[in-house]
Amino acid sequence: MKWLVCNFLLLLSIGSHPLFAQSNAPVQDTAVTDSVYLQAFQQMQIFQSDTNTRYVLVGDVVLSADSNLFFCDSLIFDSDIDSGVIRAYNNIQVTTIEGIVITSDSLVYSLQTSAGRFLGHCTYTENGKRIKSPYISFNTATGEGQFAGGGQLRQGNTRIRSNYGNYSSRGGRSRLTGDVEIRQGPTLIQSKDIIYNSKTGAGKILDSTVIYEEDLTIYCHKGQLGGEGRPSTFGEGTLFVSGSKIGWCNNTRFNPQDSTINLLSDYHIYDTIDSIGMWGVLATLDDKNGSLRGYRRPMVYSVGDQDTLFLAADTLFALKDSIEGVDTMAKPTQLFGWGSGMFFSQNEQGQANTIHWVGATDYLALNGDVVLWNDSVEVLSDAGQMETDSNHQDKRKLSFWGDAFWSRALTPRGFFDQVAGDSLCIILRDTLIQQIEVRNNAHILVFIESETDGLYENGNRSDATYALVRLDSLGEVLSMRLEDGVVGDVFAIVDEGGGAQPTMLDAYRSMRHVRPDSYVDLTSNPAIMPKDPLTLYRRYVNQWAK
């Protein structure tokens, strides 16, 4: 049946010209022209008109043209063959001078342009590269071609499928469009439009593309694939998913050798398990150990049940690891900040030269020019540490050492309860301070409110080696316990002669003028939170959902 159909098509292509013998008709193993050499056939039919002579060869046809070999069951060419075309049918195989082999059911080949159009069960084979498609075109002179109708390309461990593609035998680059799917080892690439080199793995992303790389997924619209072992770069709006982290960046560089992701422009990363995010303008994400290093003053935020904590520093380093002295079974997210570190939450704000924060326990260590603000309270010291009681989540311990100073602003302005010492240990329940323990060189100055609210007439100055100050629910001093070298007295703020007595300890100092009003005052780069990566993630997932 197939033979009848193909011969019917052959007759249609020949036309109804008269048939007669010709004395100078080409024979086997003869040169038809300088570029065409007829090597073999079983039968020949000649159809002649006033302007043209058409030759029909049938049966094991072998023809050499443009230094390429053509094998087929039947072939048609005209007398003016150098300016015309060759039409071939059934069991076609073309072997080029470069060793490329193309097979198909039918072929139209132009000797003038060296371009061939192959139709039906087409295959293209070249040095381990293999293309299968219903339609293939190929130019034997330029080495470039196209396939359409759903092609498949194989080379080594690379497998490619697409609706349409341009390819080249000289370099291996292919332009692939439609529903493109590229598999190279453990990597899967899906794209709408991409230029890809199956030999090197390098390429250029021209439209929506998703790359699956082991535990890393990248969604992008533009980018450059570096190839095997070389970095790849991705452009604006690139989204990446690494483990529990989801992030986006406008300029992303991925290095497959060490699985690091360099974020070279505005970025925003969010950990969906720990509810911790970071944004900034320059960072490096290590996909293997999950560490993240941010530069040029990035911002980190932790979303809690009732509040969000913001932290900023010139350089921030985050990783998941265990920590000595912190009671937790899992490896929590740790954050290290260097250079003008600051943090902001609804109830507490602070700053220090360096910051170390542990997410699972809200452990926070501060070092160098430490300042803490809590409601009307301010604490200053050389170093500090904040930690939550593992047995009582509403109870926290704040430790400060190195020229530590605590003060609480009173009403009217200008009066402050003050506690100074070598070290302070403050116990809070929720946000209320319950007690202050002072070790070594305790100096305390508190003011006693008169029966008239907001009016202070007397003060209490006390010095000792050790002191324990207890506060009531309003934050006012309830009692003091002093030990070793106790000196103290109660004095009138205004003496009998009308002179004002000192209302400040020698250790008094304050940084209240730089207290941030919102997380924006932490002056991160950029200052305002960029677009939420979860919004982009939902958009991309819906686009690529099958």
| Rounded average pLDDT over 441-468 | 87
Cβ-contact 280, 295 below 8 angstroms: yes
User: For residue range 395-410, what is the model confidence (pLDDT) as tens digits?
Assistant: 889 999 999 999 999 8
Query: Confidence class of residue 483 from pLDDT cuts 50, 70 and 90?
Result: very high
Burial (CB < 10 A; 0-12, 13-18, 19+), residue 402, is middle
Q: What pLDDT score was predicted for residue 350? A: 94
Q: What pLDDT score was predicted for residue 8? A: 35
Q: What pLDDT score was predicted for residue 27? A: 61
Share of residues in the chain with pLDDT > 70 (%): 88
pLDDT at 38 over 90: no
Query: Confidence class of residue 332 from pLDDT cuts 50, 70 and 90?
Result: confident
Helix (H, G, I), strand (E, B) or coil at 536: helix
Q: 1-112, which class in CATH?
A: mainly beta
For residue 104, CA distances in Å to 4, 37, 109, 136, 172 come to 18, 21, 12, 9, 21
Q: What pLDDT score was predicted for residue 544? A: 66
Query: Confidence class of residue 20 from pLDDT cuts 50, 70 and 90?
Result: very low
User: For residue range 90-100, what is the model confidence (pLDDT) as tens digits?
Assistant: 999 999 988 89
For residue 376, CA distances in Å to 337, 476, 491 come to 26, 11, 24
Q: What pLDDT score was predicted for residue 4? A: 35
Distance CA 446, CA 452 (A): 17
Distance CA 184, CA 305 (A): 44
Lowest mean pLDDT among 24-38, 76-90, 145-159, 386-400: 24-38
Query: Confidence class of residue 263 from pLDDT cuts 50, 70 and 90?
Result: very high
In this structure, which amino acid lies at residue 240?
F
Q: What pLDDT score was predicted for residue 405? A: 97
Query: Confidence class of residue 7 from pLDDT cuts 50, 70 and 90?
Result: very low
pLDDT at 411 over 80: no
| Rounded average pLDDT over 263-270 | 94
Neighbours of 404 (CB within 10 A): 28
Q: What pLDDT score was predicted for residue 37? A: 82
Cβ-contact 471, 433 below 8 angstroms: yes
User: For residue range 207-220, what is the model confidence (pLDDT) as tens digits?
Assistant: 999 999 888 899 99
| Rounded average pLDDT over 20-48 | 69
Q: Give the residue with greater pLDDT, 51 vs 486.
A: 486
Q: What pLDDT score was predicted for residue 389? A: 65
Give me the count of residues in the chain: 546
Q: Which residues of 43-70 are buried (b: 16+ CB within 10 A; e: fewer)?
A: ebebbeeeeebbbbbbeebbbbbeebbb
Q: What pLDDT score was predicted for residue 396? A: 86
Neighbours of 520 (CB within 10 A): 14
pTM: 0.78
Neighbours of 135 (CB within 10 A): 17
Chain centroid offset of residue 524 CA: 20
DSSP code at position 11: H
| Rounded average pLDDT over 466-492 | 90
Distance CA 211, CA 226 (A): 13
Distance CA 457, CA 468 (A): 24
In this structure, which amino acid lies at residue 337?
G
Cis (ω within 30 of 0) for the bond into 412? yes
Token output for 441: 């060189």
Token output for 214: 């082991």
| Rounded average pLDDT over 256-278 | 90
Q: What pLDDT score was predicted for residue 391? A: 64
Lowest mean pLDDT among 49-53, 252-256, 511-515: 49-53
Q: What pLDDT score was predicted for residue 491? A: 86
Q: What pLDDT score was predicted for residue 22? A: 43
Neighbours of 210 (CB within 10 A): 19
| Rounded average pLDDT over 508-512 | 94
Q: What pLDDT score was predicted for residue 382? A: 95
pLDDT at 10 over 50: no
- 48-57 long-range contacts (CB < 8 A, ≥24 apart) are 48/17, 48/18, 48/20, 48/22, 49/17, 52/78, 52/79, 52/80, 53/22, 53/78, 53/79, 54/14, 54/15, 54/17, 54/78, 54/79, 55/25, 55/26, 55/79, 56/10, 56/14
pLDDT at 379 over 50: yes
Token output for 334: 């740790």
Token output for 509: 């100092």
Chain centroid offset of residue 144 CA: 35
pLDDT at 327 over 70: no
H-helix or E-strand spanning residue 13? helix 2-14
**Domains of the chain, residue spans:** 1-112
Q: What pLDDT score was predicted for residue 490? A: 87
The separation between the first and the last C-alpha atoms of the chain, rounded to the nearest angstrom, is: 40
Cβ-contact 118, 92 below 8 angstroms: yes
Give the closest residue to 243 by CA, choosing from 220, 265, 259.
259
Work out the mean pLDDT of the chain and round it to a whole number.
85
Distance CA 149, CA 133 (A): 7
User: For residue range 107-156, what is the model confidence (pLDDT) as tens digits?
Assistant: 999 888 889 999 999 999 988 788 999 999 999 888 888 888 888 888 77
H-helix or E-strand spanning residue 2? helix 2-14
Neighbours of 19 (CB within 10 A): 11
| Rounded average pLDDT over 371-383 | 93
Query: Confidence class of residue 11 from pLDDT cuts 50, 70 and 90?
Result: very low
DSSP code at position 522: G
Q: Give the residue with greater pLDDT, 40 vs 546.
A: 40
